[in-house]
Structure 1
Amino acid sequence: MLFNSINFVIFLPIVFILYWFVAKENLRLQNIFLLVSSYFFYACWDWRFLFLLIFSTLLDYYTGIKMSDAKNERIKKFWFWLSISVNLGFLGVFKYYNFFIESFSNVLNSAGLNFDVWTLKIILPVGISFYTFHGLSYVIDIYKNRIKAEKNFIDYSLFVSFFPLLVAGPIERATHLLPQIQQKRTFNYANAVDGLRQILWGLFKKIVIADQCAEFANQIFNNSAGYSGSDHVLGAIFFTFQIYGDFSGYSDIALGTARLFGIELLRNFAFPYFSRDIAEFWRRWHISLSTWFRDYLYIPLGGSKGSTWRKVRNVFIIFIVSGLWHGANWTFVVWGFLNALYILPSILLKSNRNNLDIVAKGKYLPSLKEVFSISITFCLTVFAWIFFRAENLSHAAQYISQMFSGSLLSIPKVRPTFLFVLLLLFILIEWFGREGQYAISNLGLKWKRGFRYAMYYAIIVAIFWFGGKESQFIYFQF
């Protein structure tokens, strides 16, 4: 069930009404109802994979209790590694088996050794990378004595499977979400209105920005041989806005939807394309994943402490693993490698925390230095996204060589004026709303009601005008 589908438009109000008017303020009934709704939501994709989700939930729930009840470290460690192995095993089989076995076969064949591979004819369960990481963080936190095991199976299952975040995040922590699940929730009108406003902006980013950019990005990437270097630049820029509008739009809808039910999810985006360096970009892009890898991989490896070699090693490990998390393709590995190269100088020079505040905070315009820094960071990001979008490394190399050909300065064939206007308007709204949780969180709140509602109606009209087609979100494939 897509957030931008008519099915979800029907599903959400029904769940909302039953949740607040039938379950009312009965916490146990609210949680049971949300869990059943979440399982129904997931089953709409493919009911067969619902059993995998439930098995993963049962595994981590049971091993969490066994670790908490363990009488010695040896038993605790056994259950810990059992959960880690099974979780990563499922992820490896469904997501990475074919990739690694085919890569191994290609290496042997290039050496003159014939090697027949046996690949699995299976599809990737939607959301497996996200709910697996929910469970992993929970198990690791118990093992590290940061939290106690949750004994209420309904509450734990809802933490893993809450439908707004189930398919594409944000990746939640038990320390943040479980207390909210266990806490009495009452309807808050202001929060609900703010949630609807965030859902509206998320739909705008997905349907009006991402889907329109996707049309031209796909046109250029899928037929790159027929376009000039300047068209290739535009294609990369269109994809840059497509993936941002698509994924941050999903996150806005997820956060807004959760707020309707009295639950606050982790913020996942904080205007990343206004970053002044790559380190700041990664503090603002897919925040829940970046902090997950920081807390559960980077810091345990030693982080930025120790020798220079150790710092370099840790940076490349975290970014290459992050690349692989996104997909079983060498293009994602190179994308991660590039970002490691980008961020490495700031780690070594200890300047990675220079830009912690909001750019040009309290000002209408940035300084020339900030404009330059944002532009350089944006260009580096656009270049890296080429590998993220390309079908394979050969396609990426071909695309880049054509982009830097003699036709780089020519007039592009693709000139969608309406899209340029939309992107300019989008950038302006994001810029002036950058100090809020999302771009229109504060926009128009002090205007007269007529003007404020005119803005909302304009956004709704744009969504219906450019909508009509249910397009899947990019991060569903991860």
Structure 2
Amino acid sequence: MIFSSIFFVFAYLPIVLILYYLVPFKFKNLVLLLVSLVFYAWGEPVYVVLMLFSIAINFVSGLELEYFMDRGEMRKAKYACIVTAAINLGVLGFYKYYGFVIENLNAILPFDIPYTKLALPIGISFYTFQTMSYVIDVYRGKVKAQHNPITFGAYVSMFPQLIAGPIVRYSDVEQQLMKRTMSIRKFGDGVMWFLQGLGKKVLIANNMGSIYEAIAVLGASETSVLTAWIGCFAYTMQIYFDFGGYSDMAIGLGKMLGFEFMENFNYPYTAKSITDFWRRWHISLSSWFKEYVYIPLGGNRVGQAKSIRNLLIVWGLTGLWHGAAWNFIFWGLYYGIILIIEKYILKGALEKLPSALQHVYTIVLVMFGWVLFFSPSLGSAVSYMGTMLGIGGAGLADLTGWYYLKSGLVLGIIAAVGSTPVVYRRFSKWEHSRNPYKQIACVVVYAGIFLISTAYLVNATYNPFLYFRF
């Protein structure tokens, strides 16, 4: 089940909200847990058992850590934390990387190891990182162990951010799980966030995705430089509005239920460096790796050589987190190397460039990064990049490229402008204005987004969600 579907919008969500608001507060976490398990089981019921196992093992671990720490047995607490982290990573590794490891072993061994490909449990990367943050923070003394299994289960399985983030650390919602504010105004804000995200996903991401998919099926020899760049641009916009739109919907759903989640994107395509880009893109993931990997390794408090090592480790893991394939690993290392260059070689040189050149530098590097990301293999990524640079392919331009340039020009301009804060910041002032005409205009705009998105979904045959595979 995805948020941008007719069934979710007109059946699942209304039923959930009615149940949630009818019961007293003391039962709201129970309702949240049950409806979240239904949401998760909708696509693959068998993996609910895996989620329940994750909830149970981390809940018990939190109590165990508290028990040891209260008695000053820090060594036992440390071992308990390590064992739980190993179990979490073991489960994630088995389901996500088992096939990748066997494939690579088969490539170098003189015999083949037979294996069966496993379906990736939806959202396992997200909820594994959430449970790990809880256990580590209990060990660090940052949060208290949760004694109510229903409350803890609601935290882990919470459907608004279960399958696509943001990665919500327990420390961020600890108090909200116990006590949260629900009001008509907050609910209304949630509806606006949801509709904003729905519009991004359905009206922009899906249509940009259709252009990318049509170009992606062309062979390298059939693709011109113009067509390759249009395909890359289309994917660049698709993944932002797809993932960003889903994150907006998650924030909106959270507000409807009384929660406040962190924003996961801050107009990343307006960045003036790759360093700046990663402060704005998938913020919850970047902050997770910083908090639980980079800083424990020593961060930048160690010598330059070790600091570079730490960055490469973090970005190699970031790539691996996204997928079990070499192109994802190289995608992470690609960014790690650029960040190292910006930090130790370019230093303040970028800031001396004109602002426009800083933006061009950043977006071009990001687009080449997306080629590594969307390609089915490292070889195909290199081939596609070559086509973008005029190496191989069907020349500088062809009829296909001109067709997509003309037919997708208006949508491309809307997407490019929509990826900046120009429209949103002005519209946000209208949302909070006391001028009744501006408020009415906002209602009309959001109603229009809802109606057009609904009409699109009724007839849509293309409505994927890219981050399902992560």
TM-score with structure 2 setting the length = 0.91
Which runs of structure 2 are paired with 1:363-442 in the superposition (5 Å)?
A: 369-405=354-390, 409-410=396-397, 412-415=401-404, 417-433=406-422, 440-442=427-429
Equivalent of 1:197, from 192, 197, 209? Answer: 192
**CA distance in 2 between partners of 1:120 and 1:208 (Å):** 38
Deviations, residues 152-182 of structure 1 (Å, cap 9, x unaligned): 1111111111110111111111111121010
Contact 2:32 2:158 in 1 (8 A): yes
Q: What 5-or-longer segments of structure 1 have no aligned partner?
A: 109-113, 356-366
Name the CA shift for 1:292/1:61 in 2 (closer, same or farther; >3 Å): same
Distance 1:408 1:245 in 2: 30
| C-alpha contact 1:197 1:441 (8 A) present in aligned 2 | no
Equivalent of 1:58 in 51, 56, 59: 56
State the 1:459 CA deviation: 2.4
| 1:215 paired residue number | 210
Aligned-pair CA distance for 1:430: 4.3
* Structure with greater helix share of residues: 2
Q: CA deviation at 1:120?
A: 3.0
* CA deviation after TM superposition for structure 1 residue 453, in Å: 3.4
Q: TM-score, normalised by structure 1?
A: 0.90
Conservation of the 8 A alpha-carbon contact between 1:197 and 1:440: no
Q: Distance in 2 between matches of 1:43 and 1:370?
A: 48
Task: Name the CA distance, whole Å, in 2 between partners of 1:116 and 1:391.
Answer: 22
2:464 counterpart residue number: 472
**What are the superposed Cα offsets for residues 100-146 of structure 1, whole Å, 9 maximum, x if unpaired?**
121122133xxxxx121132332111111011001101111112222
Alpha-carbon distance in 1 for matches of 2:323, 2:132: 19
Q: Distance in 2 between matches of 1:105 and 1:67?
A: 41
For the structure 1 residues 463 and 408, does the alpha-carbon distance in structure 2 shift closer, same or farther, using more than 3 Å as the test? Answer: farther
Q: 1:156 to 1:441 in 2, by over 3 A?
A: farther
Q: Show CA shifts across 1:231-267 (max 9, x none).
A: 1111111110011011011100000011011111121
Aligned length: 455
2:438 paired residue among 418, 425, 448: 448
Q: Summarize deviations over 1:277-302 as a string: whole Å, max 9, x none.
A: 11111111001000000000011111
Aligned position for 2:235: 239
Residue in structure 2 matched with residue 42 of structure 1 by the alignment = 40
Distance 1:206 1:184, change over 3 A: closer
Match of 2:26 in 1: 28
> Cα deviation per residue 1:178-225 (whole Å; 9 max; x = unaligned)?
21010143x312211111111111111111111111111112122133
Give the drift of 1:343. 1.0
Q: C-alpha separation between the residues in 1 aligned to 2:466 and 2:316?
A: 20
Match for residue 305 of structure 2?
A: 309
User: 1:463 aligns to what?
Assistant: 453
Query: Shift of residue 28 of structure 1?
Result: 1.7
What letter corresponds to residue 468 of structure 2 in structure 1?
A: F
- 1:63 Cα shift? 0.8
C-alpha change, 1:370 and 1:461, in structure 2 (3 Å) is farther
Which residue type is aligned with residue 328 of structure 1? A
Q: Is the 8 A contact 2:95 2:119 kept in 1?
A: yes
Letter in 2 for 1:204: G
1:342 is aligned to 338
Partners of 2:277 and 2:138 in 1: how far apart? 31
Residue 169 of structure 2 aligns with which residue? 173
Distance in 1 between the 2:405 and 2:226 partners? Answer: 14
Contact 2:99 2:118 in 1 (8 A): no
Is 1:127–1:168's contact at 8 Å kept on the other side of the alignment?
A: yes
Q: How large is the Cα RMSD of the aligned pairs? A: 2.2
Letter in 2 for 1:86: I
Confirm or deny: 8 A CA contact 2:97 2:324 kept in the other structure: yes
Unaligned runs of 5+ in 2: none
Match of 2:271 among 271, 275, 298: 275
**In structure 2, distance between residues paired with 1:266 and 1:184:** 15
Further displaced range: 204-213 or 441-450: 441-450
Structure 2 vs 1, CA of residues 296 and 131 (structure 1 numbering), >3 Å: closer, same or farther?
same
Is 2:224 the partner of 1:224?
Answer: no
Residues 231 and 430 of structure 1: is their aligned pair in 2 closer, same or farther, counting only changes over 3 Å? closer
Deviation at 1:348, TM superposition (A): 2.3
- How far is 1:427 from its partner? 3.2
| Residue aligned with 2:199, SS | helix
Shift, 1:435, TM fit: 7.5
Q: How far has the Cα of 1:49 moved from its partner? A: 0.4
Task: Provide the rounded CA distance (Å) in 2 between the counterparts of 1:282 and 1:173.
Answer: 19
1:100 corresponds to 2:110: no
Among candidates 150, 158, 167, match of residue 146 of structure 2: 150
Partners of 1:191 and 1:262 within 8 A in 2: yes
Q: Distance in 2 between matches of 1:121 and 1:432?
A: 43
CA contact 2:230–2:405 (8 Å) conserved in 1: no
Find 1:139's aligned residue among 132, 135, 140. 135
Instruction: Give the residue type in structure 2 aligned to 1:144.
Output: R
SS of residue matched to 1:93: helix
Counterparts in 2 of 1:269 and 1:220: CA distance versus 1, 3 Å:
same
Q: Which moved more, 1:427-436 or 1:386-395?
A: 427-436
Instruction: Give, as a single letter, the amino acid of the residue that structure 2 aligns with 1:389.
Output: F
- Name 1:2's counterpart in structure 2: 2
C-alpha distance 387-443 of structure 1, shift in aligned 2 (>3 A):
farther
For the 8 Å contact 1:311–1:348, the answer to whether it is kept is: no
Number of the residue aligned with 2:75: 74
- Alignment CA distance shift 1:115-1:221 (3 Å): same
